[in-house]
């Protein structure tokens, strides 16, 4: 068996792994690279394999850095099923269409630039994939419940376990029969932080021959959530006193719903009153509706809050803006608004318009609530940039910028180590991915020191061949 690391190697985005056996060939994840000057070029490169040769794809969750290249895969000839959880399947209906729309809009914008004689036309100006490609891909998606044993190939059995990261996110256990032996692979996907609102904690995994584990926050502990909420209350209260707006870049899936949850909790507790919240993201609106359709995946506290919101008369004023006209109108609001908008890393979407209007205003505040990849506008703000470029304009940063690490959907170092410590035996090999190079190396070192695990941090494109595994059997 051979495992090739196609993405998320010494970086956080572009998750994708190719598994090849004597009889089967499949992917785990097919993600888009996000952030950095080379991202667009890398996303346009041909696949390092023939998509027509794949039997199937296993998908950990719906975030674009894990799913965003699936329509391109279909466009290139892949015809097999994409297997994931039902909630992820529902979210893909929103996210892949939105991603395709962005590809088409970016291509159209580039083409318009090429028609301007004063500007050179970037090449190519065709979209990576279209809405039609996304719709074709969505017809290949199949939803399977947590704990359900799936046999996508005669020699492969897999099970999705709850990863607690976003709605529908999964740890994937895979058993591969080869040469009268069975090897067990586990892909952690993105693990959630235990004790977070809304979702359950990540499932415990007992054993693996080969473990592929994320390390996004493998070098730090998140701030205590109570302290994070205290800071959130302070920032919103002080900004309203100054006569400004609070701008919150947030991923449309997962982070937006969690922020709304906390704002409603704080309102219910009386710590924030008379809130005017605007969610300026059509995708977040649709994702929120999908979230409500999967209440069975919520923890008890989250379900109780949904009941309160339906009945309370003093709940916050919440408005989802759909049209571009409604979005533009938000920029006429000078004070008192909490505007939640995508993208979470500030590199695309409507958030850039709200930043353009509010960054120069010292009375406004920017609340960063999620991971910001190297090379993104969000990362530049977090790193203290005093001026940034938005839509070709040089924008001064006079608004206060706050980073609220306690909202991360990713497990921090203590949580990652706790999850790893629940394995009952040492894996034969541990592949640390989905972390910036220094972070991944440091976390791999902790796994070696704390548990004696044989860890590697591969380069992108590394192909790892495995000897015959130790355990006999035909599956779970």
- Could you tell me if 242 and 284 are in contact, meaning their C-beta atoms sit under 8 angstroms apart? no
Q: Would the pLDDT of 377 be above 90?
A: yes
Q: How many domains does the chain have?
A: 2
- Select from 398, 370, 373, 371 the least CA-distant residue to 384: 398
Q: What integer is the mean pLDDT of 315-340? A: 90
Assign 301 a pLDDT band (cuts: 50, 70, 90): low
Assign 375 a pLDDT band (cuts: 50, 70, 90): confident
Q: Which of 183-197, 287-301, 388-402 comes out lowest in average pLDDT?
A: 287-301
Q: What integer is the mean pLDDT of 362-390? A: 91
Q: Which of 297-306, 362-371, 399-408 comes out lowest in average pLDDT?
A: 297-306
**Residue pointed to by tokens 């070192």:** 445
Q: Would the pLDDT of 392 be above 70?
A: yes
Query: Are 91 and 186 in the same domain?
Result: yes
Q: Is 232 exposed, middle or buried (0-12, 13-18, 19+ CB in 10 A)?
A: buried
Query: Are 291 and 317 in the same domain?
Result: yes
pLDDT at residue 40, rounded to an integer: 87
pLDDT at residue 440, rounded to an integer: 98
Q: Would the pLDDT of 447 be above 90?
A: yes
Which of 407, 426, 445 is at the close of a domain? 407
Assign 179 a pLDDT band (cuts: 50, 70, 90): confident
The H or E element containing residue 231 is helix 225-242
Query: Are 203 and 323 in the same domain?
Result: no
Instruction: Please check whether residue 201 lies inside any domain of the structure.
Output: yes
Assign 124 a pLDDT band (cuts: 50, 70, 90): low
Range of the domain at 457: 2-220+409-465
pLDDT at residue 256, rounded to an integer: 83
Over the stretch 343-372, which tens digit does the pLDDT of each residue have? 888 887 889 999 999 999 999 999 998 878
Over the stretch 232-272, which tens digit does the pLDDT of each residue have? 999 999 999 999 999 999 877 778 888 888 898 898 889 99
Query: Are 23 and 124 in the same domain?
Result: yes
Assign 293 a pLDDT band (cuts: 50, 70, 90): confident
For residues 1-17, b (16+ Cβ closer than 10 Å) or e, as one string?
A: bebbbbbbbbbbbbbbb
Instruction: Please check whether residue 472 lies inside any domain of the structure.
Output: no
pLDDT at residue 307, rounded to an integer: 59
- Could you tell me if 173 and 180 are in contact, meaning their C-beta atoms sit under 8 angstroms apart? no
Residue with the bigger pLDDT between 405 and 49: it is: 49
User: For residues 358 and 337, what is the distance between their CA atoms, to the nearest angstrom?
Assistant: 11
Cis geometry, peptide bond prior to residue 343 (ω within 30 degrees of 0): yes
By percentage, how much of the chain surpasses pLDDT 70?
Answer: 92
Q: Which of 102-106, 147-151, 423-427, 458-462 comes out lowest in average pLDDT?
A: 102-106
Instruction: Please check whether residue 470 lies inside any domain of the structure.
Output: no
Query: Are 319 and 383 in the same domain?
Result: yes
CATH value at residue 138: 3.60.15.10
Query: Are 110 and 23 in the same domain?
Result: yes
Q: Would the pLDDT of 474 be above 50?
A: no
Q: Is 290 helix (H, G, I), strand (E, B) or coil?
A: helix
Q: Which of 67-76, 141-150, 343-352, 388-397 comes out lowest in average pLDDT?
A: 343-352
Q: Would the pLDDT of 471 be above 60?
A: no
Give the CA count within 13 Å in the CB-facing half-sphere of 370: 28
User: For residues 309 and 306, what is the distance between their CA atoms, to the nearest angstrom?
Assistant: 5
Assign 291 a pLDDT band (cuts: 50, 70, 90): confident
Query: Are 182 and 238 in the same domain?
Result: no
Q: Computed from CA positions of residues 138, 141, 142, 146, in that sequence, does the dihedral angle turn out positive or negative? A: negative
Which of 369, 388, 407 is at the close of a domain? 407
Query: Are 176 and 207 in the same domain?
Result: yes
Query: Are 274 and 360 in the same domain?
Result: yes
By percentage, how much of the chain surpasses pLDDT 90?
Answer: 67
Assign 141 a pLDDT band (cuts: 50, 70, 90): very high
The mean of the pLDDT values for the chain is 90
């Amino acid at each position: 068996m051979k495992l090739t690391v196609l993405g998320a190697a010494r970086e956080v985005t572009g998750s994708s792994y190719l598994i090849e056996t004597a009889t089967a060939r499949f992917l785990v994840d097919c993600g888009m690279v996000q952030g950095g000057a080379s991202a667009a070029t890398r996303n346009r490169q041909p696949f390092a394999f023939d998509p027509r040769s794949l039997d199937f794809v296993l998908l950990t969750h719906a975030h674009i850095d894990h799913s965003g290249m699936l329509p391109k895969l279909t466009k290139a000839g892949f015809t097999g099923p994409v297997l994931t959880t039902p909630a992820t399947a529902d979210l893909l209906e929103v996210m892949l269409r939105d991603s395709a729309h962005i590809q088409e809009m970016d291509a159209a914008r580039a083409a318009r630039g090429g028609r301007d004689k004063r500007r050179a036309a970037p090449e190519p100006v065709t979209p990576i994939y279209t809405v039609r490609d996304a719709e074709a891909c969505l017809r290949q998606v199949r939803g399977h419940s947590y704990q359900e044993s799936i046999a996508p190939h005669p020699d492969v059995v897999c099970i999705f376990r709850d990863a607690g990261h976003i709605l529908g996110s999964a740890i994937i256990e895979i058993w591969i029969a080869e040469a009268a032996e069975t090897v067990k692979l586990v892909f952690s996907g993105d693990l959630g932080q235990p004790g977070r609102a809304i979702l359950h904690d990540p499932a415990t995994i007992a054993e693996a021959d080969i473990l592929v584990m994320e390390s996004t926050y493998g070098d730090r502990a998140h701030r205590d959530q109570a302290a994070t909420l205290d800071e959130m209350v302070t920032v919103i209260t002080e900004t309203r006193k100054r006569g400004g707006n609070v701008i919150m870049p947030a991923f449309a899936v997962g982070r937006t719903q969690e922020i709304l949850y906390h704002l409603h909790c704080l309102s219910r507790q009386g710590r924030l009153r008379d809130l005017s919240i605007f969610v300026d993201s059509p995708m977040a609106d649709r994702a929120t509706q999908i979230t409500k359709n999967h209440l069975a995946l919520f923890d008890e506290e989250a379900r109780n809050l949904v009941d309160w919101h339906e009945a309370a008369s003093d709940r916050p004023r919440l408005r989802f803006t759909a049209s571009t006209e409604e979005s533009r109108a938000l920029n006429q609001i000078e004070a008192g608004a909490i505007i939640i908008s995508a993208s979470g890393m500030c590199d695309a979407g409507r958030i850039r318009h709200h930043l353009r209007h509010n960054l120069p205003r010292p009375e406004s505040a920017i609340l960063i609530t999620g991971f910001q990849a190297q090379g993104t506008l969000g990362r530049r703000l977090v790193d203290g940039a005093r001026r940034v470029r938005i839509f070709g304009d040089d924008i001064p940063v006079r608004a206060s910028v706050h980073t609220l690490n306690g909202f991360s959907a990713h497990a921090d170092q203590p949580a990652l180590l706790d999850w790893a410590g629940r394995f009952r035996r040492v894996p034969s090999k541990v592949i640390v991915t989905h972390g910036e190079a220094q972070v991944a190396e440091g976390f791999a070192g902790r796994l070696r020191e704390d548990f004696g695990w044989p860890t590697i941090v591969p380069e992108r494109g590394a192909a790892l061949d495995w000897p015959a595994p130790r355990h006999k059997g035909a599956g779970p």
